[in-house]
Structure 1
Amino acid sequence: MRRLPPLVAIRAFEAGARHLSFTKAADELFVTQTAISHQVRQLETYLGVKLFERSGHALRLTEPGRVYLAELGELLDRLAAVTEKVRQRQDAPLRLTVLPSFAACWLVPRLGDFRDKHPDIELRLTSSQESWSFNEDRFDLGIRSGLGRWPGLKADLIAEERLGPVCSPARAAALPTPCTPADLVAAGLLHDTPRDGWSRWFRHAGLPDAAVPVRHAFDDHGHLLQAAADGQGIALGRLFLAEDALREGRLVRPLELTMPNDYSYWLVYPRAVAGRPEVMRFRSWLLAEAKVTVQDAAP
C-alpha cells in the first residue's frame, strides 16, 4: 500500500507555495485562509518538516518546501491530465467563456469559418464578464483581457490592443480638415467605463490639460462602438475589436494617432486540457484568425 500524504493538504500547500500567500490560495480553492493554514500544518506534521517560514508579513518557502513544490507541480499536472483524458467524452462540447464585446465584435462573425473547417467540434459559447477561475468544471477555455498572468493556467496571446478615435463617416465629415486632437475635445466624446481612457489619450497626444466632457458612458465596448457607428459621438475604440467595422466603412478613424492599451486579449485554459485535440484545433484556428486581423489593421 502506498503511503500518500493527505491530498487536500497537498492542494493547499501547492496553491500557497505558488502564490506565496495563504489568502490568494484560499481565494483560488474557495476555502478560508484558516483552512489553508490548518491543512499546511497538517502536511508539515505528516512530513516532519517546516514548509514555510514568515518574515514580517512575507511568506517564504523553506528549502524542503522548495524541493517539494518543484516535484509536486509536475505531478499534479500529470494527475490532472490523465484524469481529463479518462473522463472526457469524444462527443463532449468544447465549452468557451468569452468577454461579451470580444464575442459580438470579433469572434461570433468568424465562427462560421470555424464550423466549416471543423464540423465535428461542437462549440458551446457563454458570453460573460465573469473572470472564471476554472477550479470548477464549467468551462474548458476562456478569452479574457489582462496582462497574461493567471496562476495555474496557460495563457496564449491573441492580440495586443491599441486605442484610437473612431466615429461614423458623417461625424468625421463634420470635423475640421485636417483634424487635430484638440478638435475632438468638444466633438461629442463617448466613454468606456472607467472613464479615464480619453484623459490618457489626450495626455498621449500632448494635451495633458484637456477638459474632457462626459457625454455617454458604456460598460460594454461593443455597445460603445455601435453608438459611435450610429453617429452618437466619437469613441476611443479598441482597434482590434473595431477592425471589422472599419473595414466595412461603418466606422472611420478621424485621425491616426493611437496609444497602446494596458491589457491584451488572451486565450486562457487549464494545463490539463492543453493536449485535447479539439482544444488544439480551436487554439490554432483562433490564433491564425487573430493574426490576419492584426495584419489587416496595420497601417
Structure 2
Amino acid sequence: MTLPFGALRAFEAAARLSSFSRAGDELRVTHAAISHQIRHLEEWFGRALFLREKRGVRLAPEAKSFAETLSSSLERISAEAELLKLRTRSEITVGCIPSIATRWLIPSLSDFLAKHPDVTIKVVYAMAEQRLRETGCDVLITLGADTFEGVVCHQLFSRATQPVASPRYLERKGSIDHATQIATADLLHDETTAHWAQWLDKAGVPLTPTLRGPVFQDFNLLATAAIAGHGVALCPVELCRREIENGDLIVLSDIAILAQESYFLICRASPQKSISAFCTWFKSVIE
C-alpha cells in the first residue's frame, strides 16, 4: 500500500492544533473526516500516531519528528506555490509623464488588460527628467531618450509644438491665421513664457518686453484651459492628436518649435514576456 498523501494534510493540522475538531474547522471538513484520514495513515504506518484521551487527542511522542518535518515541508511547498503564482501573474510598473498617461495610456489600458488578463499594471507618475533606473519602474514613457546602458528606447512621436486654440475661442475672437494675430491673442503658458518667446522669434514677430497670460504648472492644466476657450496654447500636435482630430483643438500655424525632441517608451534590454507584450501594445496604440 502506497503512502496515503491525501491524509498527510489532515495529520499535520491535527498534530499542530492537537485537535481533530479544530483541524476539521481549518480544513473545512468534519471531525469524522479528519479521524478517518488519521486512521488510514495509522494503518499505513502500522502504529498509532495520536494518543486518544478523554479530553481529546495528543500526538504520540514517536510521531513528533515526522509531524515537524511534514509541517516544515508544507510551509516550503506553500511558499514555492506563491512564487509560482506570482510568476504566472505578472505585475508591470509603468512610469508615465502625466500628459501621455491621461491622453494615451489610461484611455486605452482596458484593451491591454482584456488581452492579457494575467498581467497587473501599476501606473505611477514620472517626471520628464527621470530615467528608467532612477524610477524603479519596468517601463518608462517620457520625454527624451535614455542614454544608460542596458536599456532600449522606442521613439513614440515628435514633440513638434504649434499654436492651438479651441473653436469656442475662435468663435469669440474671430479668425486667427497669421503669426502677428497669434502674438496679440490671449497666450497660455506651460510652466514658463520661454516657449512662446521661442515660437514668436521663429515666426519673426518682434517680442514685447513682457509676455502676458496665465502660466500653468502642468501641461494637462494648460490643455484643459485651451480646450475651455481661454486662449491660444503651444501644444505638441502629436501628443494632442486626438483632441485635434475630434475638433476640440485647432492648429493655427504650421510654424513649430521643439521638433528635434521626441517622446520615448523605455524598457530594459531583453525584458520579460509581459513587459515586451506591453511595449508592443502601447506602440500600436499611438500609431
Give TM-score, length-normalised by structure 2.
0.63
Asked if 1 retains the 8 angstrom alpha-carbon contact of 2:160 and 2:261, the reply is no
Corresponding residue number in structure 1 for 2:273: 277
Q: Which moved more, 1:88-97 or 1:216-225?
A: 88-97
Deviation string for 1:158-189 (max 9, x for gaps)?
Answer: 11221011111021234454620110112110
Asked if 2 retains the 8 angstrom alpha-carbon contact of 1:185 and 1:211, the reply is no
Corresponding residue SS for 1:236: strand
Corresponding residue number in structure 1 for 2:189: 191
**Identity rate of aligned residues, in percent?**
25
Q: Structure 1: state its 5+ residue gaps.
A: 1-85, 292-299
Give the whole-Å Cα distance in 1 for the aligned partners of 2:258 and 2:169.
24
Corresponding residue SS for 1:187: coil
Asked if 2 retains the 8 angstrom alpha-carbon contact of 1:97 and 1:143, the reply is yes
Corresponding residue number in structure 2 for 1:100: 98
The answer to whether residue 286 in structure 2 is matched with residue 286 in structure 1 is no
Give the whole-Å Cα distance in 2 for the aligned partners of 1:206 and 1:190.
19
Match runs of 1:112-261 below 5 Å: 112-129=110-127, 131-135=129-133, 138-177=136-175, 179-209=177-207, 213-261=211-259
* Shift in alpha-carbon separation, 1:251–1:130, aligned structure 2, 3 A: closer
Asked if 1 retains the 8 angstrom alpha-carbon contact of 2:126 and 2:135, the reply is no
Corresponding residue SS for 1:165: strand
- Provide runs of 4+ in structure 1 moved above 4 Å: 130-137
Corresponding residue SS for 1:275: coil
Give the whole-Å Cα distance in 2 for the aligned partners of 1:181 and 1:152.
45
Larger Rg: 2
Corresponding residue number in structure 1 for 2:13: none
* Shift in alpha-carbon separation, 1:150–1:102, aligned structure 2, 3 A: farther
Residue 152 (structure 1) shift: 4.1
Asked if 2 retains the 8 angstrom alpha-carbon contact of 1:245 and 1:251, the reply is yes
Asked if 2 retains the 8 angstrom alpha-carbon contact of 1:170 and 1:231, the reply is yes
Q: Structure 2: state its 5+ residue gaps.
A: 1-83
Asked if 2 retains the 8 angstrom alpha-carbon contact of 1:161 and 1:260, the reply is yes
- Aligned residue pairs total 203
Give the whole-Å Cα distance in 2 for the aligned partners of 1:255 and 1:174.
19
Asked if 1 retains the 8 angstrom alpha-carbon contact of 2:145 and 2:153, the reply is no
Deviation string for 1:49-93 (max 9, x for gaps)?
Answer: xxxxxxxxxxxxxxxxxxxxxxxxxxxxxxxxxxxxx9x823131
* Shift in alpha-carbon separation, 1:210–1:118, aligned structure 2, 3 A: farther
